[in-house]
Structure 1
Amino acid sequence: MSPVRRLLVRALPLLLSTLLAGCGAPAGPDTAGRDVREAVAAWSRTPPAQLAGIPLEGWAYEVSAVRRDGAQATARAELHYRLAGYDAAPAGSAREVRLSLDGGRWRVTGDRAAPGAPPQLWDQGPVEVVRGDHALVLGSGQSAGTLSGIAAEADRAVPAASAAWPGPWAGRVVVLVPGSLERMAELLGRPAAEYRGMGAVTTGRVGAAAAPADRVVVNPEGWAELSRAGRGVVLTHEVTHVATRAATSARTPLWLSEGFADWAAYRGGATAVEQAAPALGRAVRRGELPGALPADGAFAFGGDPEALARAYEGAWLACRLIADRWGEAALVRLYGLAGGKPLPVALQEATGTDPAGLTAAWQASLRKDLATP
């Protein structure tokens, strides 16, 4: 998922053939690059023993560049693998493999995330595996009880997401549970401050023809602060993102993407609007009725948490309104259309209204539901 940065070969033209050679045979002046590549290929034919409990398949390192410094060498590679039964498309990881000459042959001495690339969960320590009926939970630095509880919650979230989203998807999910907020941020390649207070996030590519290798990544600190009901809402929200991934594109408004996920999470429950939308309720009662549906920028992490909460709450109430007024099938159809058509066209086809009409109806519903505590 992180782009591979090709290393520059710094050598005199007369030595170029030395760097492009490589492994199983004794190293010579013309074969270093080839021998290194062959050494990496031989070493990576099977996953490491410490990953034996993880259902890995298609495990392979594709070397893109080799740098040699005397009896030491570094290979830049892309790791490809799938989690059997869960990934329809391979996951990728930029890696740096270190080798040294041993008895005239190159031997792998270490493997880590490439500089600037996020690590894998197993780079952070031993990985525990818990399987649910619909979920595979991989944890590092977590108790078996914590991982089993998350697997049980995921097993409830997957059917809830499927009930809200009848479109095709795998109907199963992979959940990563690192040891801390900082470890979570490492996996995502972002600052920890962006995820403080959050229960979980989802990774993956939007609009993929084949279902991508999505991961729900739990923030163990935020998760611990959630109630049982809150955990169900958070995980169903994230699983819904996995379910709708192939129908989502850069064209899909974030208010629709995030609002639909919240609508799926609250769907069928008894949660009162004022309980689920406290920040927006406070704004409406102050006379600060939103003038428009939340813009994409309103969902950016790391800003004003109150403003972020109002964006999510407003998005949920917009999708709730569509489902209540035009029907759940119309909301699902709108989501499917909005990934490939301009929103006004998608709205007209799915509901018969336009953005101005939807905004006016949404504002009226906010006054009705949130104007009084």
Structure 2
Amino acid sequence: MRRSTTSGVTDTARAADRRRLGAVLGAELICAVLLVGGSQTVPAGPADAAPSVAANPSPSAVAPSAAARTVTTPDGRITQLIDLGAPGGAALLDRIGAQLPGATAAVTAFWGENWPRELDIVVAGSPQQFATLAGGGTDVAATTTVDRIMFSPAAAAMTDADLRIVLRHELFHYAARSETAADAPVWLTEGVADFVGRPAAAVPPPVVPELPTDAELATAGPARSAAYDRAWSFASYVADTYGADRLRTLYVEACGPGHADIATAVREALGAELSAVLRGWRQWRDS
């Protein structure tokens, strides 16, 4: 997931890295749909998956014997870490628990204190259960719903650096759920989540400076990874040029319930026309 900050990598290496990022963060397309939705029926999974249940079931209702423990972060937020029995699930939750203080601090630094103080983080018991309960495929590391963040057991193979990005990215989605409309522009919700999730020292890779489309973000493979790069690059430009607080304002204006169109939101949040902001982004990328 980590990108090289040098210019010496080959196009093949960049493409492989983008595919890796898409695999880790592909969950966000699901997240954008589920963030503010109510209870829904999840289609039945494979025969050996968990039974069909509501999209946001209580983990204890799914697995009464699920192992759970509580982590309290320095800001007083309480997280239930719930293991549904996957091999390596407990160890993955240990790693998540160790990263939670930094993740909550990063989200609060950008979003502010006003977000839910209780959270469930669940590791599914199997890939089939992850698909049934969270809608995640084999190329998805985690999903976020109105009630919880759920990780695939395959996320246990991620490096600590990758896990850091995914946890912060998903935690931002959870924090911003009340300010994220179902029809919010996906490229902005994902770009801002990536801005919060990726290390501050990371340098956005060279990209074609055009805003990604929902179709690009919905298509698995290199095109989706490149679309995430562009969304992250735009959010990074706004924060670098106008300030992180203005990026937050743009998110609320463009993504919140009853939000304005993107041109109006940019004008209100940044005090500039969208065309001027896009022109500035292109110049920033080329500098």
Q: TM-score, normalised by structure 1?
A: 0.56
What is residue 336 of structure 1 aligned with on the other side?
252
CA distance 1:168–1:116, change in 2 (3 Å): closer
| Cα contact 1:130–1:151 (8 A) shared by 2 | no
State the SS of the aligned residue for 2:201.
coil
User: 96, 103, 114: which one pairs with 1:168?
Assistant: 114
CA distance 1:242–1:316, change in 2 (3 Å): same
What is residue 136 of structure 1 aligned with on the other side?
80
State the SS of the aligned residue for 1:233.
helix
- Give CA-to-partner distance per residue, 1:288-315, whole Å, 9 cap, x none: x35x301222221xx3311111111111
More strand by share: 1
Q: Which amino acid aligns with 2:261?
A: P
Residues in 1 aligned to 2:214 and 2:132: alpha-carbon distance in whole angstroms: 25
| Cα contact 1:347–1:354 (8 A) shared by 2 | yes
- Taking the TM superposition and a 5 Å limit, the aligned residue runs for 1:182-201 are 182-188=128-134, 190=135, 195-201=137-143
Q: Which amino acid aligns with 1:128?
A: A
State the SS of the aligned residue for 2:122.
strand
Residues in 2 aligned to 1:271 and 1:117: alpha-carbon distance in whole angstroms: 35
What is residue 271 of structure 1 aligned with on the other side?
202
What is residue 318 of structure 1 aligned with on the other side?
234
Residues in 1 aligned to 2:230 and 2:185: alpha-carbon distance in whole angstroms: 13
Percent of residue pairs bearing the same amino acid type: 28
User: 173, 176, 193: which one pairs with 1:241?
Assistant: 173
Q: Which amino acid aligns with 1:228?
A: D
Residues in 1 aligned to 2:240 and 2:171: alpha-carbon distance in whole angstroms: 22
- Taking the TM superposition and a 5 Å limit, the aligned residue runs for 1:1-373 are 121-122=59-60, 123=62, 126-133=65-72, 134=77, 135-142=79-86, 143-166=89-112, 168-188=114-134, 190=135, 195-204=137-146, 214-221=147-154, 223-266=155-198, 269-274=200-205, 281=206, 284=207, 289-290=208-209, 292-300=210-218, 303-338=219-254, 339=256, 340-368=259-287
CA deviation after TM superposition for structure 1 residue 357, in Å: 2.0
CA deviation after TM superposition for structure 1 residue 128, in Å: 0.6
Residues in 1 aligned to 2:132 and 2:57: alpha-carbon distance in whole angstroms: 7
Q: Which amino acid aligns with 2:83?
A: G
CA deviation after TM superposition for structure 1 residue 251, in Å: 4.2
Residues in 1 aligned to 2:53 and 2:164: alpha-carbon distance in whole angstroms: 36
Q: Which has the higher contact order (CA 8 A, sep 6+)?
A: 2
| Cα contact 2:187–2:212 (8 A) shared by 1 | yes
Q: Which amino acid aligns with 1:336?
A: V
| Cα contact 2:40–2:54 (8 A) shared by 1 | no
Unaligned runs of 5+ in 2: 1-35, 43-49
Q: TM-score, normalised by structure 2?
A: 0.72
CA distance 1:114–1:321, change in 2 (3 Å): closer
Q: Please say which structure displays the higher CA radius of gyration.
A: 1
RMSD: 2.8
Unaligned runs of 5+ in 1: 1-88, 96-111, 205-213, 275-280, 369-373
Q: Which amino acid aligns with 2:120?
A: V
More helix by share: 2
Residues in 1 aligned to 2:212 and 2:276: alpha-carbon distance in whole angstroms: 15
What is residue 15 of structure 2 aligned with on the other side?
none
CA deviation after TM superposition for structure 1 residue 322, in Å: 0.5
